Amino acid sequence: MGIYGALSSAVTGLRAQAHALENISGNIANSQTTGYKRIETDFIDLIPDAPISRQVPGAVLAQSRGTNNVQGDIKTVSDETFIALNSNGFFVVEPKIGQSDGNAVFAGTNFYTRRGDFEIDKDGLLVNGAGYYLKGLPIDTLTGNISGSVPEVIKLSNNFLPAQATTRVNYQANLPQLPKNTGYNPTIYNSELMEANDYLAGSTTATKAGAGGLLTDGTLNAATVMTPGESITVTVNGTAVKFDFYDSDVAAYAGTNTGIDVSATTVPAVTINAALAAMQAGLISAGGPAAATATVGINGADNLEITLGSDFHASFSVTGDAAAMTALGLTDGASSAPTRPDVETVAADLDAEFKANSIAGGAITVYAENGAPANVQMRWAKVDSAAAGGADTWNLYYMSNSAATGTSPMWTRVDQDYVFRGDGSLVPPGVPTAMINDLVVNGVALGDVELKHDTNGVSQFADVNGTVNVSTLNQNGYGAGEFVSVAINDSGRVVATYSNGERIDMAQVVTAEFNAINKLKRLDGGVFASTSESGEAILDLSGSGVIGGALEASNTDISDEFTKLIVTQQAYAAGTRIVSAADDMLQEALNMIR
């Protein structure tokens, strides 16, 4: 190789160190540049071909190596549109190439950057400090879902947000097993219930009537239809009252049940009416709360008739000796079922009574198609219970006209019964949703509104307070609103805030990753372009790694760069000494011929 080879190697070393110095100076110059990725210098030795015993180190070649995979420090900032990436991805951006009719024109080319200092420009576009515009995917404001798959420059609108009519109310609550409304009195049977007969006619109690017209005259001797030694039993809600017929002329009643004297020789003789009156008194006395207003008598068809009076919940049965049952015309001992019609509306003049029979269920503001608000007040009324002989059943009402007077409807029933089992859950299949058809509140027409409870959304567990515990109450409508501000959240969603308090997702920030991240081509403004070595961009639509209200700093370490600067300077100086030495040696060689 000789002196010329040494000189040539020294010159390549000077070039290499100068290239390293250029990278170091650029890194130091950009130590405060947002999202900047420093450039490292790699040295490659170039070995000339020679036998092993004659090999020399050879020359050197310097080349640049990117550090795109090395993240800079992420710092929090106050600007809500500034974003950073906690991943190896890049924001997808595009430069503006001109204006046409006052609108920005773009070429449709994707570039990639880590610089996230985006701000809104005069056209409503998000542009960073280097002049590159953020790209993403639009979001359907009605569904909240991403629409499209090709990134486009995100454009924000400061137009009014149109009103959205309420179509769904999400409502979940626990109803107390025992509602403690203002009308509730623990000493009064069924006082916690809303009785339909207090609001409209049509309720009937359980009834059992005989057949055959066997009791044509109640003044006849009771012994004509009731034989001493026989008995019948009336069972109300599990409470059995057994009536034993006996003849007081033969012996006084010594049993433990309720004795009914049917003596035919007593003066005056016991009449059928007297015996039935004694049965009624015994049933009221021993039949439990459900029989407190029971009646026993002869109906207009000359048949024995037993009713529960004013109890519209319990049923009963009559059993007994076959001869006694036949003599009284009771071929079938089961009573009829009580009936309670649904109270579809509550008139204004019954408002105070209704509130005493129900408990508050919350209130929510809903919106009509034109954005008109309406306050929906809800109340729950328990209309039946297992303790009363039926099933735990609730009805939900809403105030449809707060200004109603007299007999005009003020409260309206939701057309759905909520029936619960003993474990506090709804009877299968439950009530995952209920519809309020043609909802009108104080004159505001809202259309059909879905009352969405989801699975097990409404329950009936014991609550010592006796009140409704509402866990979820919200709706999907809103009034019109004026644009206030915009922010980018940690999911990469561009969110606009309006004066009505709504926050609407407008766009989804798209990020890109590459298989060979350090093979991207660097361009002005901290952007990169894909190359054949880097591979094509792998787009991520989920916003993974995005951090809102943050910026990524340069990954340049000043102290490290100064250390490399010292080494580079010394290596360059050493290279110049080699050139000087080679020059001296050549001069000596030339002096040999003088």
Give the residue among 530, 510, 519, 535 at the shortest CA–CA distance from 85. 510
Tens place of pLDDT per residue across the chain (594 aa): 577 777 777 788 889 888 989 999 999 999 999 999 999 998 888 777 778 877 777 788 889 899 999 999 999 999 999 999 999 999 999 999 988 887 888 988 999 999 999 999 988 999 999 999 999 999 987 778 888 888 999 998 888 888 999 999 999 999 999 999 999 999 999 999 999 999 998 899 999 999 989 999 999 999 999 999 999 999 999 999 999 999 988 888 999 999 999 988 766 789 999 999 999 999 999 999 999 999 999 999 999 999 999 999 999 999 999 999 999 999 888 999 999 999 999 999 999 999 999 999 999 999 999 999 999 999 999 999 999 999 999 999 999 999 999 999 999 999 999 999 999 999 999 999 999 999 999 999 999 999 999 998 999 999 999 999 999 999 999 999 999 999 999 999 999 999 988 898 999 999 999 999 999 999 999 999 999 999 999 999 888 899 999 999 999 999 999 999 999 999 888 888 888 887 788 887 788 876
**For residue 115, what pLDDT is reported?**
96
- Return the residue matching tokens 């798959």: 149
**SS3 for 340-393, per residue?**
CCCCCEEEHHHHHHHHHCCEEEEEEEEECCCCCEEEEEEEEEEEECHHHCCCEE
Distance CA 481, CA 479 (A): 6
Distance CA 366, CA 77 (A): 37
Specify the long-range contacts of residues 245-253, CB closer than 8 Å, at least 24 apart: 245/275, 245/324, 247/223
Structure tokens at 45: 């030795």
What interhelical angle do 558-591 and 2-29 show, nearest 10? 160
Structure tokens at 464: 């010592």
* 441 within 8 A of 398, measured Cβ to Cβ: yes
**For residue 258, what pLDDT is reported?**
95
Distance CA 301, CA 211 (A): 8
Give the residue among 258, 196, 197, 235 at the shortest CA–CA distance from 314. 235
- Note the pTM of the prediction, 2 decimals: 0.74
Positions of E strands within 101-224: 103-106, 111-113, 119-120, 126-127, 132-138, 152-153, 168-174, 207-209
What are the sequence ranges of the domains in the chain?
2-71+555-591, 74-162+482-552, 168-196+340-475, 204-327
**For residue 268, what pLDDT is reported?**
75
Q: How open is the CA angle 380-453-426, to the nearest 5 degrees?
A: 70
* CATH-assigned architecture of domain 168-196+340-475: Sandwich (2.60)
**For residue 594, what pLDDT is reported?**
61
